[in-house]
Structure 1
Amino acid sequence: MVDGRRPSQTLAAASSFFNGERLTMARQLAGLKKSHLASAIEMSPASVTAWESGTKQPNRATVAKLALALRVEPQFFSGGPPPRVNRPHFRSLRSTPQIAQDEAEAYGRFVAEIAGMLENAVEFPESLLPDLPVDADERSMTPEEAAQEARDFFGVPPGPVQHVIRLVERAGVVVVFSEPGVAAIDAYSLHTGARPIIVLNPVKDDYYRQRFDVAHELGHLVMHQDAEPGGKIAEEQANRFASELLMPAEQIAPFLPSSTAGRAWNQLADLKEHWGVSLAALLFRARALGVMGDVSYRNAMVRMSQNGWRRAEPGRISTLEMPSMLARAREVLADSGIGDSDFLSGSGLSAELYAIAASRVPYSPEAI
């Protein structure tokens, strides 16, 4: 429900003050190194460093150049400090360049700031996730036990999770599609001071794999608040959490085939539609639960490769689960006569990025 306050009132009005942290955020959102930004505005990298650290402030003409180069309004730099976020959980830090990591983290700050502004005007669900820490040694809890407790916490009845994104959004998690600059990065998640965020890859146009991605990131959010992101152990634990959340062992094991002989592929196809998971996830689950042996599993994966199913599996559902929290808030504001320009007025935030973050569909030029 709209409470009558202008969302942009949460940000400081444009003034002579220049916040270097916001310059860092804008530069990282643009995917630029300091040297690249310096070259774009014909200044030295040392000057950019000084502005970001706060030891010096640029003059008005330079602020205008920075705004133009970074595609923000000049008043963006006069706002308060960007939201604090934890380091994102990426699938692989080694394969993710540092500049892409920085851009993804900055986008998380942007989404957190937008969510905070929207929440000043529109009521959001309470941020409420279970705290189920799982350490590397799994001394107090395993990922499977954490997933079972999570299902109980969320009140998931026996059987498939009907809508994974809706499940996490009801718990106050902000789910968005990533912006174009980091679309090559797989799904990732991060904690903020207000509410957690899950960022989905807009390029992965696969209903079944996307559901697993969301469950995987939920695993990080409830198990790994203090874990080092990108570690092999944490990633494996998040996969095990997602498998148990979406395919509880006791419920699915009796129906998994021990090999892919006979009508097993038809059986797997039916299980795929019922549980809303990929064939690859079902085969991995069958092996992990000891239903399928290593040889049968390898043969099944060879068949998957031969059929081209490692890249794109057959499936009956082609429409992705879509996030709705930010999109619905944007629609409520629009229905109340507050358009995007009014909402962003005074903030200096990118209208294009706002449209991406508050969209129900993956990024495309037509959606902006």
Structure 2
Amino acid sequence: MLGERIRQIRLARGLSLRALAEKMGCVSAQAISNYETNKDTPGSSVLLSLADALGVSPADLFKRTTVRLGEPAYRKCASMSQRSRHALQSAVTLQVERHLEVEAIFSLDAHRALELPSSFREPIARISDVEGRAYELRRHWGLADHPIENLIEVLEDHGILVVCVSEDSKFDGCTYPDAEIPIIVVNDNKPGDRFRFDLAHELGHLVLTFPECWTEKEQEKAVHRFAGAFLVPESRAIEELGKSRTRISLLELSELKLKYGMSVQAWLHRARDLGILSENAYRAVWKMLSARGLAKRELGEPYPLERTSRHRRLVARAYTDGMISESRAAELLGLSVSDLHQVLMDGQDHEQSSAAATAGSR
């Protein structure tokens, strides 16, 4: 219905009824509420104003590509306000619909079916069991034990849709296990290494099965260890650090962060989990980090932030082949038409272009 669509896009833009009315300047907040609840229907001039204020085309207000997400699971973050949760849900729904729409242009399934090793049907018995599950999944997906260059690409190549949202620090990520396709949502307003760990963490929530008696805290410990094991298999961690260490230099840790895309803090946890560092040795290194003000601030150069690319590639292909108009391509990418031209010419999105310009001015 039109009203539901207007409300969905408004929430995704983080606008209240009053804020949208002020942007439009031609109708009241009550009138918009009547449109959203289907008590009234906007005329053609109001529709144009609505679309302009919401940053979409009038046709987008009638688009019927829909997806049922179900409820988000795990790290929904109780500290988020109800309004923020609704806005997040609407933003995710819009992004998923755009993904499905452009893939339908090529008569593609949304994503290939998620395939997991047969052992994943059984719940793990101990937290340490996730080491084996992470190894099995990497082998099943043909990843061997090498560093993963682009984790988003790996997940999307194996049937998981990754949706990136820019939220404050109150939100880390969540999954939608009951959606039509497996979905992981992560906050990209973070350093690249933290972003990758959150991705691997949510992957653990999506694929692991736990005993019914386990508490949420036990499950979080398990997926936290799974994330480290998926990013850095045990064999590689031992090869890089050795089987047993009494001390580890910060230089080693900062270099390994850049090689594997996993933070210094996560490397420390990984070394302790595998027994490479004893509890006392782990605390000693952590004390050294704290003394240097690095307990909450990451050591060394930042790791680059990954971006989803499958959707952008398909939209560019559809537009270049004349299958969709430039305005539709811009809408599917969430860009203005002028930004679309810049993206197609430069081969970068507007955020990447801004980052490159900033780097070049240094």
Once residues 18 and 218 of structure 2 are traced to their aligned partners in structure 1, the CA distance between those partners, rounded to angstroms, is: 36
1:325 CA displacement: 0.6
1:301 and 2:286 matched: yes
Partner of 2:145: 158
Q: 2:5 aligns with which of 22, 26, 50?
A: 22
1:25 CA displacement: 1.2
Q: Once the two structures are superposed, what CA deviation does each residue of 1:52-83 show, in whole Å capped at 9, x if it has no partner?
A: 454x2333165455434433333333232632
Partner of 1:196: 182
1:36 CA displacement: 5.2
Once residues 215 and 349 of structure 1 are traced to their aligned partners in structure 2, the CA distance between those partners, rounded to angstroms, is: 25
Contact 1:33 1:99 in 2 (8 A): no
Provide structure 2 residue ranges, at least 5 long, that are not aligned to the other structure: 356-362
1:239 and 2:224 matched: yes
Q: Which runs of structure 2 are paired with 1:1-368 in the superposition (5 Å)?
A: 18-34=1-17, 37=20, 43=28, 51-54=35-38, 56-60=39-43, 63-80=47-64, 82-89=66-73, 91=75, 93-122=77-106, 123=108, 126-130=111-115, 132=120, 138=125, 142-178=129-165, 182=167, 184=169, 185-191=171-177, 193-206=179-192, 208-223=193-208, 232-253=217-238, 255=241, 261=247, 264-309=249-294, 310-315=296-301, 318-337=303-322, 341-343=326-328, 351-352=335-336, 363=351, 366=354
1:320 CA displacement: 3.6
Contact 1:216 1:238 in 2 (8 A): yes
Q: Give the aligned residue type for 2:63.
A: G
1:167 CA displacement: 1.3
1:240 CA displacement: 2.0
Once residues 362 and 44 of structure 1 are traced to their aligned partners in structure 2, the CA distance between those partners, rounded to angstroms, is: 33
Q: How many residues align?
A: 336
- Runs of 4+ in structure 1 off by over 6 angstroms are 38-41
Partner of 1:8: none
1:280 CA displacement: 0.7
Contact 2:76 2:173 in 1 (8 A): no
Once residues 204 and 6 of structure 2 are traced to their aligned partners in structure 1, the CA distance between those partners, rounded to angstroms, is: 32
Contact 1:74 1:348 in 2 (8 A): no
Alignment root-mean-square deviation, CA: 4.2
Provide closer, same or farther for how the CA distance between residues 244 and 141 of structure 1 changes in structure 2, counting only shifts above 3 A.
Answer: closer
Once residues 19 and 333 of structure 1 are traced to their aligned partners in structure 2, the CA distance between those partners, rounded to angstroms, is: 27
Specify which structure has the higher proportion of helix. Answer: 2
Contact 1:21 1:82 in 2 (8 A): no
Contact 1:134 1:143 in 2 (8 A): no
Over the matched positions of the two proteins, sequence identity in percent amounts to 26
Normalising by the residue count of structure 2, what TM-score does the alignment of the two structures yield? 0.73
Provide closer, same or farther for how the CA distance between residues 43 and 154 of structure 1 changes in structure 2, counting only shifts above 3 A.
Answer: same
Between the two structures, name the one with larger relative contact order (CA 8 Å, sep ≥ 6).
1
Once residues 24 and 67 of structure 1 are traced to their aligned partners in structure 2, the CA distance between those partners, rounded to angstroms, is: 12
Once residues 183 and 365 of structure 1 are traced to their aligned partners in structure 2, the CA distance between those partners, rounded to angstroms, is: 23
Once residues 141 and 297 of structure 1 are traced to their aligned partners in structure 2, the CA distance between those partners, rounded to angstroms, is: 18
Contact 2:20 2:29 in 1 (8 A): no
1:126 CA displacement: 4.2
Contact 1:126 1:172 in 2 (8 A): yes
Contact 1:25 1:82 in 2 (8 A): no
Once residues 158 and 173 of structure 2 are traced to their aligned partners in structure 1, the CA distance between those partners, rounded to angstroms, is: 19
Contact 1:204 1:210 in 2 (8 A): yes
Contact 2:174 2:186 in 1 (8 A): yes
Once residues 96 and 365 of structure 1 are traced to their aligned partners in structure 2, the CA distance between those partners, rounded to angstroms, is: 31
Q: Once the two structures are superposed, what CA deviation does each residue of 1:73-103 show, in whole Å capped at 9, x if it has no partner?
A: 3333323263211333564512322222222
